[in-house]
Amino acid sequence: MANLHWLANPGRFLRIANAVLPYLGALTAALLAWGFFAGLSAPHDATQGAPAKIMYVHVPSAIMSMAIFGAMAVASAVALIWKHPLADIAAKASAVIGAGFTATTLLSGSLWGRPTWGTFWVWDARLTSELILFFIYLGYIAIWQAIEDPNRAARAAAILCLAGSVNLPIIHYSVEWWNTLHQPAGLLQGRTDSSMAVPLLTLLAGFFSFYVTMLLWRMEREVVGRKIRQLRLLRAQA
Amino acid sequence: MSPFLAVIARDVRLALRQGGGSYWTLLFFVLTVTLFPLGVGPDLALLARIGPGVLWVVALLAAMLSLDRMFQADYEDGSLELLALAPLPLELTVLAKAAAHWLTTGLPVTLLAPALGFLLAVDVTAYPILIAAMLLGTPVLSLVGSIGAALTVGVRRGGVLLSLLVIPLYVPALIFGALAVEATLDGLSPRPHLLLLGADLLVALALTPWAAAAALRLNLE
Amino acid sequence: MSPFLAVIARDVRLALRQGGGSYWTLLFFVLTVTLFPLGVGPDLALLARIGPGVLWVVALLAAMLSLDRMFQADYEDGSLELLALAPLPLELTVLAKAAAHWLTTGLPVTLLAPALGFLLAVDVTAYPILIAAMLLGTPVLSLVGSIGAALTVGVRRGGVLLSLLVIPLYVPALIFGALAVEATLDGLSPRPHLLLLGADLLVALALTPWAAAAALRLNLE
Amino acid sequence: MPDTFAASGLACIRGERIVFEDLDFSLTSGSALLLRGPNGSGKSSLLRLCAAFLAPAAGALTWNGTPITADRDAHRARIAWAGHLDAVKPAFTVAANLAFWLGLAPGGAALAVDTALGPLGLGHLADLPAAYLSAGQKRRLNLSRLSGSRAPLWLLDEPTSSLDDASARALLAVINRHCDGGGMAIIATHQDLALDRVATLTMAAP
Amino acid sequence: MPDTFAASGLACIRGERIVFEDLDFSLTSGSALLLRGPNGSGKSSLLRLCAAFLAPAAGALTWNGTPITADRDAHRARIAWAGHLDAVKPAFTVAANLAFWLGLAPGGAALAVDTALGPLGLGHLADLPAAYLSAGQKRRLNLSRLSGSRAPLWLLDEPTSSLDDASARALLAVINRHCDGGGMAIIATHQDLALDRVATLTMAAP
Ligand code: HEM
Ligand SMILES: Nc1ncnc2c1ncn2[C@@H]1O[C@H](COP(=O)(O)OP(=O)(O)OP(=O)(O)O)[C@@H](O)[C@H]1O
Ligand SMILES: Nc1ncnc2c1ncn2[C@@H]1O[C@H](COP(=O)(O)OP(=O)(O)OP(=O)(O)O)[C@@H](O)[C@H]1O
Ligand SMILES: [Mg+2]
Ligand SMILES: [Mg+2]
């Protein structure tokens, strides 16, 4: 009976997560506070002026939006191959956070686009590919909701996630085939001035830490929620 | 007849018999394309410019519209269980069904494309590339669509969900397909786009049968 | 709750639960509209010109994609027999089902049309007329579609002929709808087109429930 | 005064072939009619004639002497139907499925949802999604509509198929109670159903 | 040498609920196993486990001692399946429906279409569109696949439902012949099936 109960292992997870969460929360708050303070107090970009401050939200969330999908793909593969019960919970819990970062990227980019390009939206390759990423996130969330049984939903979502991840580099590199207005990558190649790069990297760490905090919190809720659901179903059967 | 061919033949025959499934698709294709001159106005230069893109978008929608035919009926009448137990590996069954889907949607749409391109005043010089691109791209639509169809097979009438899952996966084929034709019209070489389309097709051929078969298995539980 | 409202409520709830909440339907519209810039290219001036036509095509698609939801599932699981025996006249049941279909397809596309128009850079001055035309035109799609859905429910024989019957019935709504918006954009009065759309809606309201109910009875034999 | 539902000289054509001809029966309030016969002998077709889904090729069905085609609305209100198919929506819970059909019933539901689930022992499954039901549970959900129905004429097509013995007995009790209350039932079946007041019509293979 | 198909300590979870636990059985060539029990006790679920559609939550199914998951292709080739649903395409004729499935059968069909239609008495309907079949005729069409099958393990879910008495007897004869030839069958049913060599597994309500 004990090995029947897949929650046995997640029970241990709950204890660990509970212990770690407060510290993670504090770390996130510290990184974000310092990063935003340093970013906003740094001198304005010579050509773009104040709107360029949007960068401190835009760039880290753009990077997180893609990184999280990568993490979900890894978790999906783990869930499919090793059938680790926490892997699909992690993927599911990541999706909403990733979609949030993607939406933030789209919004902040639009707001930034108005002063720099004179329009909120253009059908440019980078922008379009980020929009498609958003749709892939939503499709992933949708399939979790469409299939009632969480075990089947998990595997269906994992298949979709892996299929979608094959698509991602294609969308991403289409920048090179389609003309684009958008900034090329430069941040991580050391072409950015350190007065901007340091706060940016700090914020990136802060966003990442925020992701991990939210992830653990959401996974906890999911584990508990499933337990409650199972108890309710058991009662319905009795 | 080999089991693989038998499955293709059965699905094609079903598509042709049942309520004219594939005629619906073709009619839809023609109707939607002819709607553009009505909606956009008779400006031929404008139509010529949007023509290749419109043909691609509508071909994509036509393929998507008929996707739920691929597994849903077999799931609901119990045939899918028997197909899953047949000696033909489920991956090959998926491939056969995707082939049947392409034969009844992608292929006719490709053959019809020049006629509709004519309606939209697309330059005749682009037709060979249009057809080549469609021959490479429309199988991708059927193959990639099979994943979406397999994932949503237990969800009754999951049409909207299906399109939500499948459209993002269709984007590369759509972009390269449309770009190939545009490049030709602009006097550039369509070769890189066609090569990318071909690569897309190879990846789809190699991966989608596995993904779709896995999705089907989980829906047979 | 009156039986008429009960049928509407049930169908809406089914549409929301099965394979897609209402927000997925909204997403479907956004996704489909997104396909056009991907196919046609990013030129905003060009997109603005084809925008109204594209929006109408999407509305048509939304209606068509979900038409088979109207009766087919109820036919296949035996619910249609019970509905036909219920005290609510079958004509009203059809009307209720068309209403539920409109609430889950036509209405959301209408409400979203301005946002989608924004993505396509359609001129803001056209939005009021766009919404008015869609409010008049999309119910026609659901009503007329109900005939097609009823005729093809379970019938394997004359599918082609039947769809040929329905598609011409769709075209007027689409033409007048697109023309109303175009007229506004060209600085002309959209009134005649809107009046024609209204007349189309009245005719559809008066006639389609009878036709669809008769078609359903035929299929219950 | 008891009602009478009768057929005289009934003939049925389906798929261009004659299924049966010259069929007569008469049924009065308080009794049930079992339709027996080999596969394809026309039991289901006869039920569809009785519900006026199908029109007879010859002969007529009458209610107290009046042809049922004279007032279709009145005839519809007389019927409770349970066919081969279970009319169950997997997306709804058991209770929601039943509530919809009871809400549509002629003259309002005779029973509340909870009460209607009782006779066939589905009470404990009320809040389960119907997608989770086994074949027999689905059938019982469909049949639960009947105990909440006021319709005098029940038309049942192989109602006991997929039912376990206990549920089959419970169903027979429901039908007996309906007949005791002055109802009638026509039941196509391949099994021997031990009902209280019952006549059997055996149909021949075509 | 006779084959053995056995289950040990089998448990099944569906929709997050335990349907049964600690189930054991063993079946050897030449005999049949009847699954009995109330609705929802897990008969159909057990059949799905045997076909490897479902994975057991605990325990294992073995064929001659080897777990069936060890060689899925081999196990698939052993199975002939007839579930609740009839896998009949209304658009095709009776003969075309059967021909397709026989053509796919493992190791080629044992029988020609015409011969396979015989045992369940469908020969005279061969050229009819399957849309015209009655419920029992459809079921017989599905079951006709079996007489053309070489698979040693038959998994049948309520095969006699909707069958008339003559067809039910004919089906039992087909199953007996299969067992006489060294086959085995697992049959979920609510009826008493008078087979020659048969064991019964009664499942309890969960
Ligand atoms: C809706 C509009 C926008 C979207 C969807 C968007 C999307 C993205 C994405 C996905 C990235 C990550 C690229 C990568 O790491 O490969 C990114 C990075 C970046 N974006 Fe945007 N962007 C938008 C508007 C803008 C605007 C208007 C600007 C400034 C003029 C801008 C400046 C940048 C910069 C500087 C980076 C960092 C590039 C690097 O060094 O890696 N973006 N954006
Ligand atoms: N697809 C499913 N998803 C979740 N739960 C299911 C599913 N199918 C069946 N169940 C549950 O599993 C249990 C066993 O169902 P099963 O169909 O195996 O019963 P059965 O013995 O075949 O019953 P019947 O005699 O009614 O056919 C039931 O409680 C049912 O609610
Ligand atoms: N939809 C249909 N179209 C045409 N013919 C049909 C249709 N349904 C049934 N038939 C034919 O009508 C005859 C009687 O069928 P019916 O379904 O009434 O038989 P039944 O007595 O209910 O049989 P069963 O015991 O198998 O349910 C059969 O010969 C069948 O082929
Ligand atoms: Mg019958
Ligand atoms: Mg069962």
Distance CA B130, CA B117 (A): 9
Q: Is the pLDDT of residue A71 over 90?
A: yes
Q: Which atom of ligand 2 is nearest to the CA of E15?
A: 4
Distance, in Å, from the CA atom of C200 to the CA atom of C204, rounded to the nearest integer, reads 6
More confident residue, D147 or B38: D147
Q: Which residue of A has its CA nearest to C20?
A: A146
Which whole-number Å values give the CA distances from E35 to D121, E46, E47, in the listed order?
A: 22, 9, 9
Q: Is E61 in contact with E49 (CB distance < 8 Å)?
A: yes
Residues D143 and D159 in one domain: no
Taking a C-beta distance cutoff of 8 angstroms, is the pair C209, C145 a contact?
no
Is the CB of residue E57 less than 8 Å from the CB of residue E18? Answer: yes
For residue A195, with 0-12 CB atoms within 10 Å meaning exposed, 13-18 middle and 19 or more buried, which class applies? middle
C213 min Cα distance to partner chain B (Å):
19
pLDDT interval class at C158 (50, 70, 90): very low
* ipTM score of complex: 0.85
Mean pLDDT of chain A: 81
Q: CA of B38 to nearest chain E CA: how many angstroms apart? A: 38
Same domain, E73 and E101: no
State the distance from the centre of ligand 1 to the C-alpha of A172, rounded, in angstroms. Answer: 12
| Residues B211 and A155 sit within 8 Å (Cβ to Cβ) | no
Token couple for D78: 């007389």
Contact status, residue B76 vs residue E86, Cβ threshold 8 Å? no
CB contact under 8 A, C64 and B157: no
Q: What is the pLDDT of residue A1?
A: 35
Q: What is the Cα–Cα distance from A16 to E183, expressed in whole angstroms?
A: 54
Give me the percent of chain C exceeding a pLDDT of 70: 88
Cβ neighbors of E124 (< 8 A, separation 6 or more) are none
Contacts for C198 with CB less than 8 Å, ≥ 6 apart: C136
Under an 8 A CB cutoff, do B86 and E106 touch?
yes
Least confident of A19-33, C22-36, C107-121, C148-162: C148-162
Q: How far is CA C172 from the centre of its chain?
A: 13
Phi, psi for D20 (deg, rounded to 5): -150, 165
Q: How far apart are CA A85 and CA C133, in angstroms?
A: 51
How much is the pLDDT for A4?
Answer: 37
Name the residue among D76, D88, D100 with its Cβ closest to that of C10.
Answer: D100
Residue A106 per-residue DSSP state:
H
CA angle D4, D6, D10 (to 5 degrees): 170
**Residue pair C133/C180 in contact by the 8 Å Cβ criterion:** yes
Indicate the pLDDT class of residue C25, thresholds 50, 70 and 90. Answer: low
Ligand 3, atom nearest to E125 Cα: 31
- Nearest residue in chain A measured CA to CA from D123: A236
Burial environment of residue E180 by CB neighbours within 10 A (0 to 12, 13 to 18, 19 or more):
exposed
Contact predicate A215/A94, CB 8 Å: yes
Contact between B165 and A162 using a beta-carbon 8 Å cutoff: no
> Ligand 2 centre and the CA of D138: distance in Å?
10
Calculate the alpha carbon distances from B20 to B43, B74, B101, C68, E103 in Å: 34, 17, 14, 14, 26
- Count of domains for chain E: 2
Q: What are phi and psi of B177, to 5 degrees?
A: -60, -50
Residue-wise pLDDT tens digits, E66-121: 899 888 888 988 898 998 888 888 888 898 898 888 888 766 666 777 787 888 88
pLDDT reported for residue C164: 59
Residue C11 corresponds to which tokens in the numbers above? 């169908």
C-alpha of residue A194 to centroid of ligand 4, in Å: 81
Which domain CATH number covers E168? 3.40.50.300
Q: Could you tell me the two tokens for B70? A: 């691929």
Same domain, E105 and E32: no
D22, burial (CB in 10 Å: exposed 0-12, middle 13-18, buried 19+): exposed
Q: Tell me the three-class secondary structure of chain C, residue by residue.
A: CCHHHHHHHHHHHHHHHCCCCHHHHHHHHHHHHHHHHHHHCCCHHHHHHHHHHHHHHHHHHHHHHCCHHHHHHHHHCCHHHHHHHCCCCHHHHHHHHHHHHHHHCHHHHHHHHHHHHHHCCCCHHHHHHHHHHHHHHHHHHHHHHHHHHHHHCCCCCCHHHHHHHHHHHHHHHHHHHHHHHHHHHCCCCCHHHHHHHHHHHHHHHHHHHHHHHHHHHHHCC
Q: Do E55 and E141 have their domain in common? A: no
Q: Which of A216, A218, A213, A212 is nearest to A68 (CA)?
A: A212
Query: What is d(CA B221, CA E14) in angstroms, rounded to the nearest whole number?
Result: 9
Q: What is the CA radius of gyration of chain D?
A: 17
A83: left (phi over 0), alpha (psi -120 to 50) or beta: left
pLDDT > 90 fraction of chain A, expressed in percent and rounded: 26
- Which residue owns the Cα nearest ligand 2 atom 2? D132
Nearest to D46 by CA among D84, D11, D16, D78: D11
Please say if the pLDDT value at position C75 is more than 80: yes
φ, ψ at E11 (rounded to 5°):
-130, 150
Looking at per-residue pLDDT, the higher value among A104 and D108 belongs to A104
- Give the confidence band of C87 by pLDDT, cuts at 50, 70, 90: confident
By alpha-carbon position, which residue is closest to atom 28 of ligand 3? Answer: D40
D185, D20 in Cβ contact below 8 A? no
Paired tokens of E86:
């009839």
Chain C residue numbers touching A167 (CB-CB < 8 A):
none
Do residues D51 and D90 both lie within one domain?
A: no
List the residue whose alpha carbon is closest to atom 2 of ligand 3: E132
* Domain identity same for D158 and D72: yes
This prediction's pTM: 0.87
A229: nearest CA in chain E? E16
The answer for A 9-48 residues in CB contact with B (under 8 A) is: none
Distances, alpha carbon C100 to alpha carbons C106, C154, D65, in Å: 10, 21, 41
Say whether both E71 and E143 belong to one domain: no
Residues D112 and D14 in one domain: no
Strand pairing category for E32-36 and E58-63: unpaired
In E, minimum Cα distance to C221 occurs at: E132
> What does the pLDDT read at residue A95?
94
Q: Does A82 touch chain C (CB under 8 A)?
A: no
**Sequence ranges of the domains in chain A:** 43-237
User: Helices C44-65 and C127-152 sit at what angle, rounded to 10 degrees?
Assistant: 30
| Beta strand E79-82 pairing with D198-202 | unpaired
As a whole number of angstroms, the distance between CA A150 and CA A172 comes to 31
Helix (H, G, I), strand (E, B) or coil at E75: helix
Query: E105: buried, middle or exposed (CB in 10 Å: 19+, 13-18, 0-12)?
Result: buried
Average pLDDT over residues C181-189: 83
What one-character-per-residue DSSP string does D33-85 give? EEEE-STTSSHHHHHHHHTTSS--SEEEEEETTEETTT-HHHHHHHEEEE-SS
D206 lies in the same domain as D170: yes
Q: Kindly state whether residues D40 and D107 are assigned to the same domain.
A: no
- What three-state secondary structure class fits D202? strand
- E98 and E67 fall within a common domain: no
Tokens (6 digits) for D127: 């809040």
pLDDT, residue A145, reads 82
Whether C53 sits inside 8 A of B35 (CB atoms) is yes
E177 at D interface, C-beta within 8 A: no
**Is the distance from CB of B196 to CB of B133 less than 8 angstroms?**
no
Which domain covers residue E110, as residue numbers? 86-151
Give C40-72 pLDDT, tens digit per residue.
877 778 888 888 888 887 787 777 767 777 887
With an 8 Å Cβ cutoff, are A121 and C119 in contact? yes
| Helix A85-117 vs helix A125-146: crossing angle, to nearest 10 | 150
Helix, strand, coil percentages (3-state) for chain A, rounded to 5, are: 80, 0, 20
Residues D171-187: what's their mean pLDDT? 91
For the cut 50, the answer to whether the pLDDT of residue A5 exceeds it is no
Residue B63 burial (10 A CB sphere; 0-12, 13-18, 19+): buried
Co-location of D128 and D193 in the same domain: no
Q: Which two tokens stand for residue A225?
A: 């929620």
> Phi, psi (5° rounding) for residue A68?
-65, -40
Q: pLDDT digit of tens for each residue in chain B (221 aa)?
A: 688 998 999 888 888 776 545 566 677 778 778 777 776 777 788 888 888 888 888 888 888 877 877 898 888 888 999 899 888 899 999 999 999 999 988 898 898 888 888 888 888 888 889 999 999 999 999 999 999 999 988 776 566 778 888 888 898 888 888 888 888 888 888 888 899 899 989 999 999 999 999 999 988 88
Quickly list H helices, E91-191. Answer: 94-104, 113-117, 135-147, 165-180
Distance D46 CA to ligand 3 centre (A): 10
Residue C157: per-residue pLDDT: 37
Q: What is the pLDDT, as a whole number, of residue B144? A: 94
Higher pLDDT, C66 or A187: C66
